[in-house]
Structure 1
Amino acid sequence: MSGELARRIGFTIGALLLFRLGTQIPFVGMGPPSLSFPAHEMVRLSIFALGILPYLSAAIVIRLLSLVWQRLNSREKSGENGRRSIARYTLLLTLVFSTFQAYGYASAIQTIPALVPDPDAWPVFAATASIVGGVFVLIWLSEQITHHGIGNGLALILSVGFLVSIPRDIAGIMELLQQGGISSNLVLGHVVFWIAAVAVMVLVEGARRNIRVEFGALDAGARQLPARSAVLPIKLNSAGFLIPVTVAPWIFFLPLAFAGFILGGDHPLVAAAYRHFQLGQPVHMMLMSVAVFVLAFVYTAYVVDPEASARSLAQRGGTIRDVAPGEATADYLDRVVSLTTIVGAVYLTVVQLIPEVFELYGNGLPYSMVINGGATLVVVCSALDIKTQVRGLSLTNPGGVRR
């Protein structure tokens, strides 16, 4: 193991330990929880109560705006200054989201006598400030991991949040098994299912559709570079997971919330709609599946631009065999990306359906709605990213020169 790799691994472990320590630090106004309060729920009363989700939500909103607002899209692609501007917009929107959520959270805690014996002395604004501060500490910590550690900081913080609940879930399952509350065959079935699911995720996330590209001979000063071939890789899942699955519920719940505001939450139509949109309900499953499938195409079209790729190939003298340069190449790449995205969209749809199928058929376990397909995919992608970076650092000497 190289010294650089060891340093990065040590830095990452230390940063993640700081994250876990922060989940045990109560926000302003909270004393030590009572003995009746579960220790594992302390994270809900800590400075990291909101986690990194406000930042992710802000980043997703900015990304969606860039899809429809050409000026923002151009700024994002204008170089380092443009990316810094986008980062500032994201942080400002994070401040708005986290302040709104933290104030609501602190106000809700105020109404729980077991946690706040004296509501009149409850410092709502101080609690709000400490929770918002916790969100920005996590943003800073994730950036440090990304720049100085190993792996993607945001994904690692999310992954650790999921992984720490697994021992407790296993203990709960074993207790239910001993009490006869669930069958051993059900537990074995879940174990086999998740082993197979992780194997499929690893396979799909590493899958590429490689398009062979030929480059002609090139004059470089006094030298002539010989003709060569390369591949243009197209990911099977170019849309990722967070944006399609995070945005899909907004399509339904934002109009539903607006209808509730206009008609009232107790209106029969609004109440019926909320009932059908609960997790595990057939209507929710069908509409979410359609939304995730469509959003996978929409976001892939933003991430993978066949016309830009065709222009880049033409500028570098690259051609695809039996395909004319220019518009024909763009059409060919568009067709390949579309066909590839069908597979990726089906895969994402199935992944997001995992916990709901368990819920619908009543064969879930206590963990099923928490450690679900999305959480597993985030952990798998984090592990694959770490593997890639470890391999890259292991094969380089100090200074970035390959061995």
Structure 2
Amino acid sequence: MTRELARRIAFTIGALLLFRFGTHVLLPGLRPGDWLTGGPAAIGAITRLSIICLNLIPYLSAAILVQLVAMAWGRLNSLARSGERGRRRIARYTLILTLLIASFQAYGIATALRDIPNVVPNPDGGFVLTATVSMVGGVFFLVWLSELITRHGIGNGIALILSVNIIVSLPSDIAGIASLLQSGAISSGLVLGHIAFWIATVTIMVVVESARRNVRVDFAGRKIGDRVLPARSAVLPIKINSAGYLVPTTVAPWLWFLPLAVLTYVYGADAPLIESAYKQLKFGAPLHMILGSAAVFVLAFIYTAYVVDPEHTAKSLIRYGGAVPGVVPGEATADQIDRVASLTTVVGAVYLTSVLLIPEVFELYGIGLPYSMIINGGAALIVVCTVLDLRKQVRDLSLTNAGDERR
């Protein structure tokens, strides 16, 4: 292990411990004690309301919204691809939108807490203000901490924080399942079936996330200043799952729940059609599974086209003197890259849709176990991708000398 790698690992561990410490800092104005009623479950729910209870959700929502606007608005898309200066402006827009989303969510939570009897000892206007500011500050603290991890630590800071949230819930889930198994509420066969299922699922995730479809690219020799670069060959790697997980699975429910929310506002929640729609679209319902699968499948193609961007890639190859063997540079190259990416994304979209459906299939057929709400196929995929990224960075840093030279 190199000294640089050890330093980065130590920094990352320290930052994650600081994050976990923040989860135990209660919101100002909430003082659990004898005055808090509602039983152990209610007390546990209240005590989880730390200053970082919003986590990174507002920031991720803002980032997804900005990406959606960039996909639809060419000017913002060009800005995002215009280099470091453009990326800084995009980051600034994302933070402004994060502030708006976090403030809205924090104010709603603080107002709801104030109106619950025996939860806030002094439910005056001061509590709402301090709780809102604390929660918004907690979001920006996590954004800052994740950037520090990415820059000075090892791995992607946002992915690590999300993964830690998932991993820390595992012990309580395992303890709960063991308790139910001892009491006879669930069978040992069901538990063994889930263990085998998750081993197979994680194995498939590792294989798929590590797989690439490589497009060969030949670069002609050229002269840059006093340097002469010889002709060489390289590959353009295209991931099977280029769309990732968060964007398709986050945007998919918006396609029907946003129109449904508008209809609810217009006609009221008691309207028979609205009640029926919510019933048919609840988690685990067949219609929800069908719509969700179709939406994620299509969104995987749309977002892959944005991420890969064959036209931008073809122009970049021309700029650097590269060409796909046997394909005319320019539009023909863009068509070839688009064809390869589309065929590869068919497999990726099926894979991503299957991951999304795991908890719903368990719910539909009643074969699930009492996992926490965040333990599902998506959570497993986030952890797997985080571990693969960590492994890659550790390997790269282990093979790099102090002067950033490969051994």
| TM, length-normalised to structure 1 | 0.95
Segment of structure 1 superposing worse, 222-231 or 1-10: 222-231
Q: Tell me the CA shift for residue 330 of structure 1.
A: 1.6
Give the corresponding residue for 1:119.
Answer: 123
CA distance in 2, matches of 1:221, 1:143: 36
Matches within 5 A, 1:307-326: 307-326=311-330
Query: Is contact 1:218-1:224 (8 Å) kept?
Result: yes
1:64 to 52, 68, 78: 68
Distance in 2 (CA, whole Å) between partners of 1:317 and 1:11 is 41
CA contact (8 A) 1:212 1:232 kept: yes
Partner of 1:397: 401
Q: Name the residue aligned to 2:32.
A: 32
Q: Distance in 2 between matches of 1:103 and 1:224?
A: 60
Where do 1:1-400 residues align within 5 Å? 1-32=1-32, 36-37=39-40, 41=45, 44-120=48-124, 123-219=127-223, 225-367=229-371, 369-400=373-404
Preserved CA contact (<8 Å) 2:283 2:360: yes
SS in 2 for 1:45: coil
In structure 1, the gaps of 5 or more residues are: none
Per-residue Cα deviation, 1:155-185 (whole angstroms, up to 9, x for no partner): 1111111111000000000000001100000
User: Which string of whole-angstrom CA distances, capped at 9 and with x for unpartnered residues, describes residues 293-349 of structure 1?
Assistant: 111111111111112222222333333232222222221111111101111111111
Closer/same/farther in 2, CA of residues 327 and 74 from structure 1, 3 Å limit = closer
Q: Does structure 2 conserve the Cα–Cα contact (< 8 Å) formed by 1:110 and 1:122?
A: no
Structure 2 residue matching 1:209: 3-state secondary structure: strand
Q: Deviations over 1:110-158 (max 9, x none)?
A: 2333422553577111111111111111111111111111111111111
Q: Is the 8 A contact 2:169 2:372 kept in 1?
A: no
SS at match of 1:88: helix
Stretch deviating more after TM superposition (375-384 or 24-33): 24-33
- Contact kept? 1:58, 1:93, Cα under 8 Å: yes
State the alpha-carbon separation in 2 of the partners of residues 89 and 312 from structure 1. 26
- Per-residue CA deviation, residues 345-371 of structure 1 (Å, 9 max, x unaligned), is 111111111100000000000006430
- The alpha-carbon deviation at position 220 of structure 1 amounts to 6.0
Q: Cα RMSD between the aligned structures?
A: 1.9
Q: Deviations over 1:355-396 (max 9, x none)?
A: 000000000000064300111111111111111110111000
Q: In terms of mean alpha carbon deviation, does 381-390 or 367-376 score higher? A: 367-376
Q: 1:43 to 1:245 in 2, by over 3 A?
A: farther
Deviation, structure 1 residue 82: 1.5
- Rounded to whole Å, the distance in 2 between the matches of 1:163 and 1:89 is 31
Task: Kindly indicate whether the alpha-carbon contact (under 8 Å) linking 1:355 and 1:369 is maintained by their aligned counterparts in 2.
Answer: no
Q: Which of 182-191 and 325-334 deviates more?
A: 325-334
Q: In structure 1, how many angstroms separate the alpha carbons of the residues matched to 2:33 and 2:60?
A: 29
CA distance change for structure 1 residues 294 and 105 in 2, over 3 Å: closer, same or farther?
same
Q: Give the distance between the partners of 1:217 and 1:198, measured in 2 at CA.
A: 43
5+ long unaligned stretches in structure 2: none
Q: TM-score, normalised by structure 2?
A: 0.94
Deviation at 1:49, TM superposition (A): 1.1
**Could you say if the C-alpha distance between residues 165 and 43 of structure 1 is closer, same or farther in structure 2, counting changes exceeding 3 Å?**
farther
Supply the AA of the counterpart residue of 1:13: I
User: Structure 2 vs 1, CA of residues 43 and 8 (structure 1 numbering), >3 Å: closer, same or farther?
Assistant: farther
Going from structure 1 to structure 2, the CA distance change for 1:225 and 1:33 (only over 3 Å counts) comes to same
How far apart, in 2, do the equivalents of 1:40 and 1:248 lie?
32
Q: 1:205–1:381: 8 Å Cα contact kept in structure 2?
A: yes
Rounded to whole Å, the distance in 1 between the matches of 2:81 and 2:319 is 19
Q: For residue 48 of structure 2, give the secondary structure of its aligned residue in structure 1.
A: helix
Contact 1:52–1:138 (8 Å) recurs in 2: yes
Q: Residue 117 of structure 2 aligns to a residue in which SS? A: coil
| One-letter identity of the residue aligned with 1:200 | I
Query: Separation in 2 of the partners of 1:40 and 1:391?
Result: 41
How many Å separate the matches in 1 of 2:54 and 2:316? 42
The CA deviation at 1:37 is 3.9
Pair 170,223 (structure 1): closer, same or farther in 2 beyond 3 Å: closer
- Contact 1:209 1:236 (C-alpha < 8 Å) held by counterparts: yes
| 1:216–1:122 CA distance, 2 compared to 1 (3 A) | closer
User: Per the alignment, do residues 334 and 119 of structure 1 end up closer, same or farther by CA in structure 2, a change over 3 Å counting?
Assistant: same
State the one-letter code of the partner of 1:170. I
CA deviation after TM superposition for structure 1 residue 7, in Å: 0.7
- Once the two structures are TM-superposed, the CA of residue 219 in structure 1 deviates from its matched residue by 5.0
> Aligned to 1:214, what secondary structure does the other structure show?
strand
Contact in 1 for aligned 2:52/2:138 (Cα 8 Å)? yes
**In 2, Cα distance between equivalents of 1:278 and 1:134:** 31
TM-superposed CA distance for 1:70, in Å, is 1.7
Residue 230 (structure 1) shift: 1.6
Stretch of structure 1 that moved more, 260-269 or 116-125 = 116-125
